[in-house]
Amino acid sequence: MGRYLVTGGAGYVGSHTVLALLDRGDEVVVLDDLSKGHRGAVPTGAKLVAGRCDDPKAVEAAFALGPFDAVLHFAALSLVGESMREPMRYIGENLANVTAVAGAAAKAGCRKFVLSSTAALFGFPERIPIDEDQRLEPASAYGESKLLCERALAWAERVHGMRFAALRYFNAAGADPDGRAGEDHDPETHLVPLAIGAALGTRAPLTVFGTDYDTPDGTCIRDYVHVADLADAHLRVLPLLDHRSVRYNLGNGTGYSVRQVLETVAAIGGRPVPHGLGPRREGDPAALVASSARLRADTGWSPRFPALEDIVRTAWAWHSAHPKGYADRPAA
């Protein structure tokens, strides 16, 4: 049994990772300012410190509940479009969060750090699927901020001996198979919950941006990984940090088009997804799929829910049971 600090543990991927840690018997402390996360997403059994990662008092309070075997860091601004309107905010806050938490970890003697990074580091990739050997050239301030976070952690390793894992992925989707957690963003920008909300009538009809891409059905292809599989990957890299730092791209191995997602939601829900058609959005590549071959080889990771149908089915169950998200649930 270990003890772990999970920053952003009241958010989407973070809360599912907290569940995975608790399920295997670990102790968990969550540090989250609840600006994007939810008290109701923090599972029973985890301790919550409500505060910002760049607040020394909050970070000190969290580390006082240690010692920790590792930090898993999810706290970040993460909207690509918003990052292009507020680039300095994204670069400043995301880098400040990592440096503050990693610095406190080093001071506390915690020498393992797992970063929730992004495949947006690669911008417009040279080939699909995207492997770790491709050129790092972010096309957004969000991607740039995560690249700077990885570089900062490399300095923490060089100076403090802190080994780190950076997991680079695109689209988390789905919900806890047992219905204990799900996706609840405000604003919501992810396709799967937008499509489900449109079908359920809890959200407005969505817009499909671009139908003339060089893809089989003309719509963008993206990589969707079940959130529980992402949580599992974060846990699987922890033993590697006994020996070395690692950087992994993390993908499902199969991309799905926007039309495929809408059709799958309609089939699972038994009702159509109201939507309109719009022009392409500037900067949207035709296809983005990340390879997980290296992660699979090194850790044995393999998604339990690789099929789009399985991903959507768990998401549909969550949103059907919680049409108002965590507002329907009492805080743990």
- pLDDT per residue, tens digit, the chain (332 aa), is 899 999 999 999 999 999 999 999 999 999 999 999 999 999 999 999 999 999 999 999 999 999 999 999 999 999 998 999 999 999 999 999 999 999 999 999 999 999 999 999 999 998 999 999 999 999 999 999 999 999 999 999 999 999 999 999 989 999 999 999 999 999 999 999 999 999 999 999 999 999 999 999 999 999 999 999 999 999 999 999 999 999 999 999 889 999 999 999 999 999 999 999 999 987 788 999 999 999 999 999 999 999 999 999 999 999 999 999 998 655 44
Q: How many residues are present in the chain? A: 332
In a domain, 310, yes or no: no
Look at residues 189, 211, 157, 191 and name the one whose alpha carbon lies nearest to residue 262: 191
Residue 135 lies in a domain: yes
Q: Is residue 241 part of a domain?
A: yes
Q: Per-residue b/e over 116-128, b at no fewer than 16 CB within 10 Å?
A: bbbbbbbbebeeb
Known catalytic membership, residue 256: no
Q: What is the pLDDT of residue 283?
A: 76
Does this model's pTM top 0.85? Answer: yes
**CA quadruple 144, 52, 181, 25: dihedral, nearest 10:** 100
HSE on the CB side for 188, CA within 13 Å?
Answer: 23
**pLDDT tens-digit profile of 173-184?**
999 999 999 999
| 215 part of a folded domain | no
- State how far the Cα of 263 lies from the Cα of 246, in Å rounded to an integer: 37
The answer to whether position 325 is within a domain reads: no
pLDDT of residue 231: 98
For position 332, what pLDDT does the model report? 46
Question: Dihedrals φ, ψ of 147, to 5°?
Answer: -65, -40
Q: Which residues of 234-251 are buried (b: 16+ CB within 10 A; e: fewer)?
A: bbbbbebbeeebbbbbbb
Work out the mean pLDDT of the chain and round it to a whole number: 96
Q: Which residues contact 174 (CB under 8 A, 6 or more apart)?
A: 183, 192, 226, 227, 228, 305, 310, 311, 312, 314, 315
219 part of a folded domain? no
Q: Is 117 helix (H, G, I), strand (E, B) or coil?
A: strand
Both structure tokens of 241: 């940090």
Question: Which of these is catalytic: 142, 224, 248, 256?
Answer: 142
CATH code of the domain containing 141: 3.40.50.720
Instruction: Decide if 298 is inside a domain.
Output: no
> Which pLDDT value is given to residue 281?
84
Share of the chain above pLDDT 90, in %: 93
The DSSP secondary-structure symbol of 205 reads P
Q: How many helices (H) and strands (E) does the chain have?
A: 10, 13
Establish if 66 belongs to a structural domain.
yes
Q: Which domain holds residue 34?
A: 3-173+225-251
Considering its fold, how many domains does the chain have in total? 1
N-terminal to C-terminal alpha carbon distance within the chain? 22
Q: What is the pLDDT of residue 228?
A: 98
